[in-house]
C-alpha cells in the first residue's frame, strides 16, 4: 500500500514515513487517542470549525485518527458529521461559501495550507457517497476513471481487476465489464463506487452513509467489505445507524447539535470521541448516553 | 372469522347515509364536464390548425408535383420561378450553406455559454447573464436582418471575403496571445503550486481584452482607411448582402435556443456525478468533459438538431440580408448572394403582382414549403427522441 503510493513530499516535505505493522493493536486493546504514535497518526484535527458564509456549521472538533482503523462519525441529523467528513478531503471546497478554521493535519501536513492542491488531496483521500453514483459509462471505465484522470495509461486492466476484487464485485461483473454501470443493482453500484475509489490507490477512504440507500442484505455485504478493506485502508464512515457504527468501527465520534436560542441556528459539535466499545457501553458524556439509549435524536 | 370486538349492526339500522349522499351534487358533475370539454376544445383547435396547414400545403403541392416538368427542377442555372425554372438545388444548397454557417456560430457559442452558465458561473453571474441571453432570444428577426445587412455584411463578411489573409492573421495573433498567456499561467501555477490568485487572473483577462480591442481597432481603421474609404462609416449598406452575412445573423438568433436547451440538459445531470468525479481527484475541466458532457450528450445533440431546424426555417434574416430577391443563380459560395427555401417563399409571396408568371409559379411556392416542412418535421422528430432519452436516464 505504502510502496504503491508515491512519496508524500509532493504535497509536503519532511514528513516521516515508516510502517510498523506489528503496532497494529487488536480491537480489544485500542490505544486511547492520546497514545497513538506519530507514525500511525493519519489525521490530527484540532479545534476545527466549518463555516458556510457567516454560519458556523460545526465547531470544536478535535480528533486523532489512526492508520488502518475504522472511525465512525455518528449523531443526529444536522450535527455536521458529513460536513466534517467532507472537510477531510476538501470536498467542502466545492461549496463556494464554505470555509474551515482550525487545523486539519494529514500526516503532518496542513490540508488547508494555500499551497495544497485539493485535487491532489482527493487522489489520496478517496470518497464514497451516500447515493450510489456510477458514471453513465461502462463498468470498466467507471473503475478506470480515477487512475485515468491521474494520468495513468498503462496497466489499467490490472488496476480494474484488483479494485473490483477488493470490492468483492469481480465475480459478478467480470464477464460484462464493457456494459453500462447504470443497469447494476443498488448494492452492486455502491460496491462499484467503492472499487472506483480504491482504484485511485488512496490511503484513506471516506464513506458518507454508504449504506443508507441499500437494503439490509446489501448493507451486510458492504459492512463485510469494510472489515476486509481495513487491512489496507484507513476508513472514516458517517452513519445514521448506531448498530452499524458499533459493528464495524474501532473508534466512534459522537456529534451533537446545539441550538442558539437567539437566532435559531443549529451548530454541530463533537461531544465524545473514544473507542467504540467504550462509547456504546460506558460513555463519559451524558448527551452521548442519552443518544445511544434512544432518549434523544 | 376472528372476533375483533366489533359487532356488525343489523342491516336496517344503517340508515344515516344513502347512495345519494355519496353521489355528490349533480351541479358539480356538470361543471366538471363543461370544464373538461373546454380544455378538450382548446387542445383540438391546435391539432385542427396543424391539419389544415398541412392540408393547404398539400393541395397546391400536389398540383405542382403532378403538372411540373421535372427537368426544370434539377440542374438548371438557378431559381427563376417567374420564368418557369424551379431549380431546387439552388435553394437547397443555399439553405444548407446558411444552416451550416449559422450552426458554426450558434453551436460553439451556444454550447459554450451553456457550459459556462451551468458549470462555471457563480450564482450571481448566472443571475446577471441569463436574462441577457433571453433578451437576445427576444430580438425580432427583422431587426437582426437589418443588423446583418448593415453591419455583418459590410463590416465582417465582405472583409473576410476581401482580406481573408488579414483576418486569418488576426486570428493567429489572438490564438498566439492566448497560448502565451496560458503558458505564463502554467509558469505561475508551477511557481506557486496553487490556484492562481484573482489578481493574476484579472491581469490576464485585461491583457486579453486590451489585445482584442487593439486588433479590432487596427482592423476597422487601418483596413478600412487603406483599401476602402467608404467602409470608414461603420454602418454602411453596401451591395445587397451575402448568404454568409445572413447566416451569421441566423446563427446569432439561434444561440439562445441552443444555449437554453443544452443548459437544461447539463442541469439535469445529477450533481452527485460531479461530486463523485471531484472526489476521485478530477479537475473541473476533466469533470465537465469526461462526465457531465457525456451524461448530457443526448440533450446536447437535441439542442443542435433543434438549432438546425430553427436555422433552416428562419426567414426574415435571409430574406433581408441573403443578397437575392425574387430569383437567384445557383451558387455554392457563402460569399455570394443566394436564396434559401424560406427566402424564396417570402420573396415570391411579397410584392403587388400576386405572383404572376408561369402557370406553376404560385404552386412552386407550396412545393418548396412542403419540402421545408418535411425536413424540419423529420429533424424535430429525431430531436424529441434524443430529449426523451435524457429524461429516461435520470
Domains of chain A: residue spans and CATH: 8-131+202-292 (3.40.50.300)
Chain A residues within an 8 Å CB radius of B279: 89, 91, 122, 126-127, 129, 197
A92 has a chain B CB within 8 A of its CB:
no
Q: Give A 138-167 residues with CB within 8 A of chain B.
A: 145-146, 149-150
State yes or no: pLDDT of B183 exceeds 90.
no
Instruction: Read off the pLDDT of residues B158-171 as tens digits, 9 standing for 90 and up.
Output: 766 666 666 666 77
Query: Which run of H or of E encompasses B23?
Result: helix B19-23
The pLDDT, as a whole number, for residue A2 is 41
pLDDT of residue B347 exceeding 70? yes
HEC string for A227-273: HHHCCCCEEEEECCCHHHHHHHCCEEEEEEEEEECCCCEEEEEEEEE
Angle between helices A139-149 and A186-199 (to 10 degrees): 30
Closest CA to A72 of A289, A256, A242, A237: A237
Burial of B166 (0-12, 13-18, 19+ CB in 10 A): middle
Closest B-chain CA to A151: B282
Strands (E) across B135-292 are located at none
Dist. CA A144–CA A162, nearest whole Å: 11
Q: CA A166, CA B325: separation in Å to the nearest integer?
A: 72
Predicted confidence band of residue B192 (pLDDT cuts 50, 70, 90): very low
pLDDT given at position B162: 66
From A134, which residue of chain B is nearest by alpha-carbon distance?
A: B273
pLDDT at residue B191 is higher than 70: no
Contact residues on chain B for A193, CB-CB shorter than 8 A: 276
Distance CA A23, CA A68 (A): 11
Residue B238 CB contacts under 8 Å (≥ 6 apart), including other chains = B153, B154, B158, B230, B231
| Chain B contact present for A168, CB below 8 A | no
From the list A206, A269, A212, the residue with the least C-alpha distance to A244 is A212
Of A89, A91, A133, the CB nearest to B273: A133
Cα of B125 to nearest chain A Cα, Å? 13
pLDDT at B114: 94
pLDDT value at B210 more than 60: yes
Instruction: Give the CA distances from residue B54 to residues A123, B42, B245, B384, in Å, rounded to whole numbers and listed in that order.
Output: 60, 19, 32, 20
- What are the extents of the domains in chain B? 26-67, 73-161+240-393
Higher pLDDT, A244 or B176: A244
- Please state, in angstroms and rounded to a whole number, the distance separating the CA atoms of residues B147 and B141: 10
Tally of residues, chain B: 394
Q: Which residues, numbered 208 to 267 in chain B, qualify as contacts with chain A under a Cβ-Cβ cut-off of 8 Å?
A: none
Q: Which has more pLDDT, B76 or B261? A: B261
Q: Does B290 touch chain A (CB under 8 A)?
A: yes
Cβ contact (<8 Å) for B291 and A96?
no
Q: In chain A, which stretches have pLDDT less than 70?
A: 1-36, 296-297
Residue B243 CA to residue B324 CA, distance in Å, equals 9
User: Which segments of B68-140 does DSSP mark as H helices, in order?
Assistant: 88-115, 123-138
Give the residue, B79 or B210, on which the prediction is more confident. Answer: B79
B191 reaches A (C-beta below 8 A): no
Q: Which contiguous run of DSSP H or E holds residue B85?
A: strand B85-86
Nearest CA in chain B to A114: B194
Residue with cell 403587388: B352
- Give which of B272, B267, B390 is closest to A196, Cα–Cα: B272
Please count the residue pairs, one from chain A and one from chain B, whose beta carbons lie less than 8 angstroms apart. Answer: 74
> What average pLDDT does this structure show over B162-191?
66
pLDDT tens, position by position, B31-60: 999 999 999 999 999 999 989 988 988 888
Nearest CA distance, A131 vs chain B (angstrom)? 8
Cβ atoms of A167 and A113 closer than 8 Å: no
Nearest CB neighbour to A117, from listed B194, B278, B393: B194
**More confident: B266 or B2:** B266
Q: Is the pLDDT of residue B29 over 90?
A: no
Nearest CA in chain B to A192: B276
Q: Which residues contact B33 (CB under 8 A, 6 or more apart)?
A: none
Q: What angle do CA B304, B305, B309 make, to 5 degrees?
A: 115
Q: What is the pLDDT of residue B8?
A: 65
> CA–CA separation, A235 vs A5, rounded Å?
17
Predicted local confidence at residue B390, as pLDDT: 61
The pLDDT score that the predictor gives to residue B118 is: 92
CATH number of B73-161+240-393: 1.10.3720.10
State whether residue A122 sits within 8 Å of chain B by CB.
yes
* Rounded Cα distance, A277 and B1, in Å: 50
Given CB atoms, is B194 within the 8 Å cutoff of chain A?
yes
Give the best residue of B192, B279, B282, B288 to mutate against chain A (max A CB count within 10 A): B279
> What is the radius of gyration, based on Cα positions, of chain A?
19
- Rounded Cα distance, A274 and A31, in Å: 10
User: Are residues A115 and B276, on separate chains, in Cβ contact within 8 Å?
Assistant: no
In chain B, the residue whose alpha carbon lies closest to the alpha carbon of A115 is B194
- Strand runs (DSSP E) across chain A, as ranges? 41-52, 55-66, 70-74, 98-106, 109-110, 125-128, 204-208, 234-238, 251-260, 265-275
**Angle, in degrees to the nearest 10, between helices B341-349 and B361-393:** 140
Distance, in Å, from the CA atom of B157 to the CA atom of B105, rounded to the nearest integer, reads 13
Three-state SS for B293? helix
Residue B31 forms contact with A (CB below 8 Å): no
ipTM of predicted assembly, 2 dp: 0.80
More confident residue, B137 or A196: A196
Q: B289 touching A, CB under 8 A? A: no
In this structure, are residues A285 and A279 in contact, taking their beta carbons and an 8 Å threshold?
no
Residue A72 has a pLDDT of 93
pLDDT, tens digit (0-9, with 9 covering 90-100), for B79-119: 888 788 888 888 999 999 999 999 999 999 999 999 999 99
Contact B194 A126 (CB under 8 A): no
Whether A196 has its CB under 8 Å from any CB of chain B: the answer is yes
Asked if A149 lies within 8 A of B279 by C-beta distance, the reply is no
Cβ separation of B294 and A196 shorter than 8 Å?
Answer: no
CA angle B225, B229, B232 (to 5 degrees): 75
Amino acid at each position: 500500500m505504502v510502496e504503491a503510493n508515491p512519496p508524500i513530499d509532493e504535497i509536503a516535505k519532511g514528513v516521516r514515513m515508516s510502517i510498523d505493522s506489528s503496532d497494529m493493536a487488536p480491537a480489544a486493546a485500542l490505544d486511547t487517542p492520546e497514545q497513538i504514535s506519530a507514525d500511525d497518526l493519519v489525521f490530527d484535527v484540532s479545534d476545527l470549525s466549518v463555516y458556510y458564509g457567516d454560519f458556523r456549521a460545526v465547531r470544536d472538533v478535535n480528533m486523532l485518527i489512526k492508520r488502518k482503523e475504522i472511525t465512525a462519525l455518528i449523531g443526529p441529523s444536522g450535527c455536521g458529521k458529513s460536513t466534517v467528513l467532507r472537510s477531510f478531503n476538501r470536498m467542502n471546497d466545492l461549496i463556494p461559501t464554505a470555509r474551515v478554521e482550525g487545523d486539519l493535519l494529514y500526516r503532518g501536513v496542513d490540508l488547508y495550507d494555500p499551497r495544497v492542491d485539493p485535487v491532489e488531496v482527493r487522489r489520496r483521500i478517496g470518497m464514497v457517497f451516500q447515493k450510489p453514483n456510477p458514471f453513465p459509462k461502462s463498468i470498466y471505465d467507471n473503475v478506470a476513471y480515477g487512475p485515468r484522470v491521474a494520468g495513468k495509461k498503462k496497466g489499467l486492466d490490472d488496476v480494474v481487476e484488483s479494485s473490483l476484487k477488493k470490492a468483492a464485485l469481480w465475480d459478478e461483473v467480470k464477464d460484462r465489464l464493457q456494459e453500462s454501470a447504470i443497469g447494476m443493482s443498488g448494492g452492486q453500484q455502491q460496491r462499484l463506487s467503492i472499487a472506483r475509489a480504491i482504484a485511485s490507490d488512496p490511503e484513506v477512504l471516506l464513506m458518507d452513509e454508504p449504506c443508507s440507500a441499500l437494503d439490509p442484505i446489501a448493507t451486510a455485504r458492504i459492512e463485510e467489505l469494510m472489515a476486509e478493506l481495513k487491512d489496507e485502508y484507513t476508513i472514516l464512515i458517517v452513519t445514521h445507524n448506531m448498530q452499524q457504527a458499533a459493528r464495524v468501527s474501532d473508534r466512534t465520534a459522537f456529534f451533537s447539535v446545539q441550538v442558539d436560542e437567539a437566532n435559531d441556528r443549529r451548530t454541530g459539535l463533537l461531544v465524545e470521541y473514544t473507542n467504540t466499545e467504550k462509547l456504546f457501553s460506558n460513555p463519559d458524556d451524558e448527551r452521548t448516553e442519552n443518544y445511544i439509549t434512544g432518549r434523544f435524536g | 372469522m376472528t372476533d375483533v370486538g366489533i359487532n356488525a349492526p343489523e342491516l336496517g339500522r344503517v340508515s344515516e347515509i344513502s347512495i345519494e349522499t355519496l353521489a355528490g351534487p349533480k351541479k358539480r358533475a356538470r361543471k366538471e364536464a363543461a370544464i373538461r370539454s373546454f380544455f378538450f376544445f382548446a387542445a383540438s383547435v391546435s391539432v385542427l390548425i396543424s391539419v389544415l396547414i398541412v392540408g393547404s400545403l398539400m393541395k397546391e403541392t400536389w398540383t405542382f408535383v403532378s403538372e411540373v416538368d421535372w427537368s426544370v427542377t434539377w440542374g438548371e442555372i438557378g431559381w427563376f420561378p417567374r420564368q418557369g425554372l424551379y431549380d431546387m438545388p439552388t435553394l437547397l444548397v443555399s439553405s444548407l450553406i446558411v444552416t451550416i454557417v449559422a450552426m458554426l456560430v450558434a453551436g460553439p457559442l451556444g454550447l459554450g455559454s451553456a457550459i459556462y452558465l451551468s458549470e462555471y458561473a457563480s450564482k450571481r453571474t448566472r443571475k446577471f447573464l441569463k436574462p441577457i441571453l433571453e433578451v437576445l432570444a427576444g430580438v425580432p428577426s427583422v431587426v437582426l436582418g437589418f443588423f446583418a445587412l448593415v453591419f455583418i455584411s459590410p463590416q465582417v463578411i465582405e472583409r473576410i471575403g476581401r482580406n481573408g489573409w488579414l483576418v486569418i492573421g488576426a486570428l493567429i495573433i489572438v490564438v498566439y496571445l492566448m497560448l502565451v498567456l496560458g503558458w505564463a499561467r502554467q509558469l505561475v501555477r508551477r511557481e506557486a503550486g496553487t490556484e492562481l490568485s484573482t489578481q493574476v487572473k484579472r491581469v490576464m483577462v485585461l491583457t486579453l481584452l486590451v489585445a482584442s480591442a487593439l486588433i479590432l481597432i487596427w482592423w476597422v481603421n487601418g483596413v478600412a482607411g487603406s483599401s476602402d474609404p467608404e467602409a470608414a462609416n461603420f454602418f454602411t449598406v453596401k451591395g445587397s448582402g451575402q448568404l454568409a452575412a445572413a447566416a451569421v445573423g441566423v446563427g446569432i438568433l439561434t444561440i439562445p435556443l441552443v444555449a437554453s436547451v443544452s443548459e437544461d440538459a447539463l442541469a439535469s445531470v445529477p450533481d452527485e456525478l460531479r461530486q463523485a468525479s471531484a472526489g476521485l481527484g478530477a479537475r473541473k475541466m476533466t469533470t465537465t468533459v469526461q462526465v457531465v458532457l457525456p451524461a448530457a450528450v443526448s440533450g446536447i445533440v437535441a439542442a443542435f438538431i433543434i438549432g438546425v431546424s430553427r436555422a433552416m426555417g428562419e426567414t426574415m434574416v435571409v430574406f433581408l440580408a441573403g443578397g437575392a430577391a425574387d430569383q437567384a443563380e445557383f451558387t455554392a459560395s457563402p460569399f455570394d448572394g443566394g436564396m434559401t427555401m424560406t427566402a424564396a417563399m417570402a420573396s415570391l409571396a411579397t410584392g403587388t403582382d400576386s405572383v404572376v408568371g408561369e402557370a406553376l409559379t404560385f404552386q412552386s411556392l407550396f412545393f418548396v414549403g412542403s419540402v421545408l416542412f418535411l425536413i424540419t418535421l423529420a429533424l424535430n422528430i429525431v430531436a424529441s427522441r434524443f430529449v426523451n432519452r435524457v429524461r429516461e436516464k435520470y
